[in-house]
Chains A and B, each alone.
Chain A
Amino acid sequence: EAQVTQNPRYLITVTGKKLTVTCSQNMNHEYMSWYRQDPGLGLRQIYYSMNVEVTDKGDVPEGYKVSRKEKRNFPLILESPSPNQTSLYFCASSLSGAWTEAFFGQGTRLTVV
């Protein structure tokens, strides 16, 4: 089954404790991206990747890092989480770019206390 898998689905952590949210897709898609969803703000792009070893900032990259060492995986790293990063996070993949249909993961609800 074609899918984008994020883990964990729910996470509560403390300020400053490094964490990684994993994202994996099994569709051989070139493009992957991370979004955060906040009430009243919709979805905002954090980082995206056109292909292996090619990543770039979206609209709200501060406080996040990503890597794309393999085509299927695109982890989101919060080196020192802060309460303002409490949000619902979505990973997505598309066949060849942001102009193609995006397939989204189930979401990760992160709470930083």
Chain B
Amino acid sequence: AQKVTQAQTEISVVEKEDVTLDCVYETRDTTYYLFWYKQPPSGELVFLIRRNSFDEQNEISGRYSWNFQKSTSSFNFTITASQVVDSAVYFCALSEAVGQGGSEKLVFGKGTKLTVNP
């Protein structure tokens, strides 16, 4: 069964610090997709990134970067030079592909609440 673990419940940093949010996943499929979503204090859920299991290249988007390592089943998210606007709950999620008889489900981790203090 799919499982996503975000061991860090809450993280607090000071503005301009770098911060890494951890995500560890479990799946029996070889084809799967990983996601990160952001939930700011206003409550909406915002898509950040999707990665498929065959693409282990790290991705960078501005101050955000993602490190996907199949060997450790991890998909970590780093914010460089954090800002107050980065304060939010961040969710990692996993979906197995249909083609291999996997489910259509999207499984979320419990989330990491990031607080960036000025």
Residues of A participating in the B interface, judged by any CB pair closer than 8 Å = 31, 33, 35, 40-45, 48, 50, 56, 58-59, 88, 90, 92, 97-104, 106-107
Number of residues of chain B lying within 8 A (CB) of chain A: 26
Secondary structure of the A contact surface, majority rule? strand
Contact B111 A50 (CB under 8 A): no
For the complex, is B91 an interface residue (Cβ under 8 Å from A)? Answer: yes
Beyond known contacts A45-B107, A107-B44: 4 more, CB 8 A cutoff: A42-B6, A98-B104, A99-B97, A102-B106
For the complex, is B115 an interface residue (Cβ under 8 Å from A)? Answer: no
Residue of B103, B105, B106 most packed against chain A (CB within 10 A): B106
Nearest residue in A to B32 (C-beta to C-beta)?
A: A99
23 contacts across the A-B interface (CB closer than 8 A): A31-B104, A35-B108, A40-B9, A42-B6, A42-B91, A42-B109, A42-B110, A43-B108, A44-B108, A45-B106, A48-B106, A88-B43, A97-B98, A98-B33, A98-B103, A98-B104, A98-B105, A99-B95, A102-B35, A102-B37, A104-B44, A106-B43, A106-B44
